[in-house]
DNA sequence: CTTTGTAAATGAATGGCATTCATTTAGTGG
DNA sequence: CCACTAAATGAATGCCATTCATTTACAAAG
């Protein structure tokens, strides 16, 4: 009865499970069941559940669009990359705490993404010693913004505290009246453009 | 045997516990033990463990330094606030997923922080409909950067993949040689200054 | 003082979870 | 045909949050 299982199959099954049941439904038991296998069988292929999350993360990194680096303007490439990166991970926020502490050695697709992005920054004229910091700054913003996408629409409703917080209440109301675009998208666009123009100034 | 427990006491005990054992050590059982009480007793005062995390979050919000708003330049106030905010939550990253989805109604101290910051933005000349988006953009960056502080030093070491990723490897090396400051602080400073100057341009 | 009501604490259960391990099964190369 | 190895099994472990029927302590009302 050798080997219906491997890392690719586990990753795929995990993705299907998450799509159907969300991250709460992603248990080792459920994952095993979806593969018609006993839970303990999974441990022949992954060391722990964290390993599964790591496989997922690296797979998702391969979905991020880096194709604009090397063609056209640096600004446009960063824009495309950042929006795509945020969109992918906004569906997978439980992975963010994992990524944040994940050594890139363990994630080849993620490393490949960094390579493409780094080359794009270098070719755009960034001094070498600022490249990693600039990417990290953008990534931090992207991860934070990914959470933002999942927030409930009324998260900023001050409720009964409205009178005590006039400035904030007014600002929230004003945005709501204005808003056609998703609030999370407005904030992301605003911050991203600020980062692009600010970081762009570091080029030699 | 009425009432040795209340929300303030639970919050304080939880903070002490986290300081000593980290967030892995923060279990309802351990929290109860630290208060000399049975685990089930906690449920007379909080609805769930998530409630405890919520109490913690709101307490931490009160530690964020907003004192610079209303005195001096908007830029300086944002800088002080943002660094302080990041420093506080970099010690409490497990709360970030909670905050991200937390309606402000349930967190009075957090709401108070937003009020002060909003007023600072308004007084600095921000159009009302951009205030919330600007704050959200900054907050997203701050939360993402808080994770960054906790990352291991060698997180970007490409290991055996170094030859396959020359641009990235070079950039990582270059930063390491350069660096006296903590890498997370460099990236945060870079991104924050970019956001401050980019968002500052929205003022009327 | 006693009665009555209420808030708070108890301890025993429940169900879910990741993980471990001794054992079995099934192929593969000598 | 045998020996080795990789993979799957199912039963157990230990930790966890949460629930609930029951008891305890106290305070206010008669």
Which sequence spans correspond to the domains of chain A? 1-46, 60-200
The answer to whether residue B2 scores a pLDDT higher than 60 is no
How would residue A2 be classed by pLDDT, with cut points 50, 70 and 90? very low
Q: Do B155 and A102 touch (CB under 8 A)?
A: yes
Separation CA B172–CA B160 (nearest Å):
14
How big is the A-B interface in CB pairs under 8 Å? Answer: 252
**Which nucleotide, over all strands, has the C1' atom closest to the CA of A36?**
D8
Q: What is the mean pLDDT of residues A179-197?
A: 95
CA dist list (Å): A168 to A156, B126, B179: 9, 13, 40
The pLDDT, as a whole number, for residue A5 is 73
Separation CA A56–CA A62 (nearest Å):
10
Are the C-beta atoms of residues B164 and A114 closer than 8 Å to each other? no
Separation CA A59–CA A108 (nearest Å):
9
The pLDDT, as a whole number, for residue B5 is 72
**Which nucleotide, over all strands, has the C1' atom closest to the CA of B41?**
C9
How would residue B4 be classed by pLDDT, with cut points 50, 70 and 90? low
The pLDDT, as a whole number, for residue A4 is 60
B7-46: CATH topology? Arc Repressor Mutant, subunit A (1.10.10)
**Nearest-10 Cα torsion for B80, B194, A60, A126:** -130
Render pLDDT for A122-180 as a digit per residue (tens, 0 to 9): 999 999 999 999 999 999 999 999 999 999 999 999 999 999 999 999 999 999 998 78
Specify which residue's alpha carbon is closest to the C1' of nucleotide C12.
B40
**Which nucleotide, over all strands, has the C1' atom closest to the CA of B6?**
C8
Tell me, in Å, how far CA of B49 is from C1' of D1? Answer: 61
Which of 1.10.10.60, 2.60.40.10, 3.20.20.70, 3.40.50.10490 is the CATH number of A1-46?
Answer: 1.10.10.60
Q: What is the mean pLDDT of residues A176-195?
A: 94
Tell me, in Å, how far CA of A76 is from C1' of C18? Answer: 44
The answer to whether residue A1 scores a pLDDT higher than 80 is no
The pLDDT, as a whole number, for residue B36 is 94
- Which residues from B are below 8 Å from A108, CB to CB? 161
- Which residues from A are below 8 Å from B150, CB to CB? 100-101
By Cβ distance, the residue of A104, A183, A184 closest to B155 is: A104
The H-assigned helical ranges of A26-165 are 28-34, 39-42, 49-61, 74-90, 96-100, 108-123, 128-150
- Which residues from A are below 8 Å from B201, CB to CB? 194
**Nearest-10 Cα torsion for B137, B97, B7, B14:** -120
Are the C-beta atoms of residues B158 and B169 closer than 8 Å to each other? yes
Separation CA B59–CA B53 (nearest Å):
10
List the one residue out of B147, B31, B56 whose CA is nearest residue B110. Answer: B56
Tell me, in Å, how far CA of B76 is from C1' of D11? Answer: 63
Q: What is the mean pLDDT of residues B170-188?
A: 94
| CB within 7 A of nucleic chain D | A 1-5, 32, 36-41, 44-45; B 1-2, 24, 26-30, 39-40, 43, 48-50
Residues with Cβ < 8 Å from A108, sequence gap 6 or more? A58, B161
Q: Does domain A60-200 have CATH number 3.65.10.10?
A: no
Separation CA A131–CA A121 (nearest Å):
7
Specify which residue's alpha carbon is closest to the C1' of nucleotide D10.
A38
Residues with Cβ < 8 Å from A23, sequence gap 6 or more? A92, A94
At B37 the three-state DSSP class reads: coil
Q: What is the mean pLDDT of residues B90-117?
A: 96
**Which nucleotide, over all strands, has the C1' atom closest to the CA of A6?**
D7
Q: Do A174 and B128 touch (CB under 8 A)?
A: yes
Q: Do B188 and A140 touch (CB under 8 A)?
A: yes
């Amino acid at each position: 009865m050798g080997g219906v299982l491997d890392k690719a199959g586990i990753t795929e099954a995990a993705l299907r499970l998450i799509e159907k049941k969300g991250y709460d439904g992603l248990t080792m038991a459920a994952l095993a069941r979806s593969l018609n296998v006993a839970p303990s069988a999974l441990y022949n292929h992954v060391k722990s559940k964290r390993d599964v999350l790591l496989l997922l993360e690296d797979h998702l990194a391969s979905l991020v669009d880096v194709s604009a680096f090397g063609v056209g303007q640096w600004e446009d490439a960063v824009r495309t990359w950042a929006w795509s990166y945020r969109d992918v991970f906004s569906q997978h926020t439980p992975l963010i705490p994992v990524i944040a502490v994940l050594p890139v050695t363990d994630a080849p697709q993620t490393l490949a993404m960094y390579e493409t992005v780094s080359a794009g920054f270098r070719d755009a004229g960034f001094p070498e010693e600022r490249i990693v910091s600039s990417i990290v700054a953008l990534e931090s913003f992207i991860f934070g913004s990914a959470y933002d996408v999942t927030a409930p629409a009324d998260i900023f409703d001050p409720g009964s505290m409205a009178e005590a917080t006039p400035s904030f209440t007014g600002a929230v109301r004003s945005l709501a009246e204005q808003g056609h675009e998703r609030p999370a998208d407005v904030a992301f666009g605003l911050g991203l453009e600020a980062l692009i123009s600010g970081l762009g100034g570091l080029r030699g």
